[in-house]
Amino acid sequence: MSVRLLPLVVLLGLPLPAFAEAIRVSLEGRAALGEGVPTLVIHIDEPISGFEVKLKRSDGKTVELKGGGKPGITRRVALEQPEGKFHYEGELTVQFPDAEPGAMPLAFDTELYGPLKMEVRREDVDVPGRKLRFTLSRPAAKTEVTVLMDTGKTAFAGDVDFKGAPAGTPLEVKWMPAEGKVMRIRLRAYDTSDFYTGVDLYPWQVDIPHEEVTFASGRSDVPPAEKGKLDASYKGITDALNKYGRWASLRLYVLGHTDTVGSTDDNRELSLKRAKSIASYFRQRGLKVPVFYEGFGEQSPAVPTPDETAEAGNRRAEYIIAVEDPSLTNAPFTPRWRKP
């Protein structure tokens, strides 16, 4: 989100002719794309027959406009332009009822901003190292940072000054050690024109300890004798949701895995169906948070083995609670999370 805090209004500040008491010119030189455009404002203070504005923009584009009005009227000349900074030069000519026309030289700069964009890559959030990096799409002035812990305490709350670092520069934020787990990192970054954008980061996930469900060979339906294990896991999941749910809207992810007995494609399909069965069971028990599942088959083993090895440690599932898609180490492919 990009926000215009206050419009910039400045007098042009050039030497003015004698007729300047009849007309005043000011500039609203900055605007956000989609919210307006830079505007030349002409205030008519005394009777005139009319005025004409002729301008040339730094990219060669010309602006010409005629107007007029009674004393007390304000005319606004919208300067339609592409995103970016431009310089204008030209003049304002004023016609009077009973006097010679007069000309006022004009020279000014404008800026039209698109949305201020922040990029924070997953790999640039280093919670153990207590630091993160991000970039902005425009020169950076400062960032307001808040790092909250699960103890309710704040590891950091304050401003980091970036002194106009150029767009695209890696910007780093650090914080001091604090007791507990980092629950939320809130960033609000400002460019050098006081536009800002913000993001809340939740760089954590919770793996739920559980007893593995034993499926029949080649089957994906949960045996009745194994449902007690899922009931115990359901309690662990709800306990974690109650503990961490006050920080953000949470999700449950179920990941299925197999050993290396059988073909890679068959194992992938089997792990996917078993993960779906487990996810469906939790939904049927009344879990209110969104639930997603994916199957990784034999491609992400906990215990590395040769092919066609019946390793019980690889016939497993993972239950992960997170705010966003979980961070997976050694994932064999990009997960396509599904809902049961």
Distance CA 234, CA 256 (A): 17
The mean of the pLDDT values for the chain is 91
Give pLDDT, residue 18.
52
Burial of 95 (0-12, 13-18, 19+ CB in 10 A): middle
* The residue type at 217: S
Distance CA 10, CA 182 (A): 45
As a whole-number percent, the residues of the chain with pLDDT over 90 amount to: 79
Query: Mind listing the pLDDT tens digit for each residue in 263-302?
Result: 999 999 999 999 999 999 999 999 999 999 999 999 999 9
As a whole-number percent, the residues of the chain with pLDDT over 70 amount to: 94
Give pLDDT, residue 291.
98
* Structural domains present in the chain: 9-113 (2.60.40.10), 118-201 (2.60.40.1220), 205-322 (3.30.1330.60)
pLDDT at 198 over 60: yes
What tokens appear for 254 in the block? 């179920």
**Token pair 């794309």 is at which residue?**
33
Average pLDDT on 92-110 reads 89
Residue 195: band (very low, low, confident or very high) from pLDDT cuts 50, 70, 90:
confident
Stronger pLDDT, 10 or 132, i.e. the higher one: 132
Average pLDDT on 44-69 reads 94
Query: Mind listing the pLDDT tens digit for each residue in 229-246?
Result: 999 999 999 999 999 998
Give pLDDT, residue 133.
98
Which residues, 6+ apart, have CB-to-CB distance to 107 below 8 Å? 12, 14, 87, 88, 89
Question: Which of 211, 220, 196 lies closest to 115 in space, CA to CA?
Answer: 196
Give pLDDT, residue 84.
86
What b-and-e string marks burial along 151-172, b requiring 16 or more CB atoms within 10 Å of the CB?
eeeebbeeebebeebeeeeebe
Distance CA 274, CA 315 (A): 11
6-10, 26-30, 69-73, 297-301, range with the lowest pLDDT: 6-10
